[in-house]
Amino acid sequence: MIEHDRQLAWRMVQVMVAYAPDQGLLASVAAGPVEDLFGLKQLMRQEAEINPRFRICLGMTNGLPEELEPFADRETRLEAVPTMNTSEATPEEIALMVAWFHHSDTSWAPMLLDELNRGRPDDALFVLRLLLASGDEYPHLREKVFLEVFNTFVQLNFAMYRDELKALARQHDDLRRWCLDMKRGPADDSESWATFLHDLRGT
């Protein structure tokens, strides 16, 4: 939208500002869509003149254009502002907004998992086990778990947790098949990975 239909992107900003349920999520709107559309200064000024929620949003941006600085509210909490009338939002707009909110709300998870993989691998393995155990409930996420969680753990911690990983692959047949189809394992331990796969084939 930002590249091809900035007016539509601006409309989505208005919807997200109207529906943001708390200060934290409004800050995500400020740091993402609003900052990306700073070129629409006149539209933002007009919105800020009538919309106290948008003024709070402007107050949480970085690099605010000088023309908009007088409209930035850095003191008022969102909870103190009445909810605006949002009845004009279409079902399609609501669906897109919810998807964006969900992505923003969970974007911290990969960063946390990376920290665990590098500094607390026991905890990372615990998270991996939880995700694999939820396979029956969320089958559409299996490949994403394999690629982004299991594979990341293997790349960083294979040597130390080889037996645990083998047990997981034997416990979850779809994971075992995925491992056998992998083109490569840990870059620094290809021989051990080959042995690992050999053991899985014999399962």
- Between 30 and 22, the more confident residue is 30
Interatomic CA distance for residues 62 and 9, integer angstroms: 19
Say whether pLDDT at 64 is over 80: yes
Domain extent, residue 85, equals 6-105
- Rounded mean pLDDT, 92-110: 85
Judge contact between 30 and 61, C-beta under 8 A: yes
pLDDT confidence of residue 87: 57
**Token code pair at residue 120:** 């607390």
Q: Which residues contact 127 (CB under 8 A, 6 or more apart)?
A: 113, 116, 149
Say whether pLDDT at 180 is over 80: yes
Number of compact structural domains in the chain = 2
Interatomic CA distance for residues 27 and 10, integer angstroms: 16
Say whether pLDDT at 84 is over 70: no
Say whether pLDDT at 12 is over 70: yes
One domain, residues 15 and 37 = yes
- Between 1 and 85, the more confident residue is 1
One domain, residues 117 and 76 = no
pTM attached to this predicted model: 0.59
pLDDT confidence of residue 154: 93
pLDDT confidence of residue 103: 80
One domain, residues 77 and 122 = no
Interatomic CA distance for residues 95 and 111, integer angstroms: 26
pLDDT confidence of residue 85: 63
Say whether pLDDT at 21 is over 60: yes
**Looking at the domain assignment, is residue 131 inside a domain?**
yes
Helix-then-strand count for the chain, H and E? 13, 0
pLDDT confidence of residue 135: 76
Say whether pLDDT at 80 is over 70: yes
pLDDT confidence of residue 102: 83
Closest CA to 76 of 97, 98, 59, 100: 59
- Rounded mean pLDDT, 145-159: 92
Domain's final residue, options 105, 135, 162: 105
Say whether pLDDT at 100 is over 80: yes
| pLDDT band with cut points at 50, 70 and 90 for residue 138 | confident
Domain's final residue, options 52, 75, 105: 105
Q: What percent of the chain has pLDDT over 90?
A: 67
One domain, residues 10 and 101 = yes
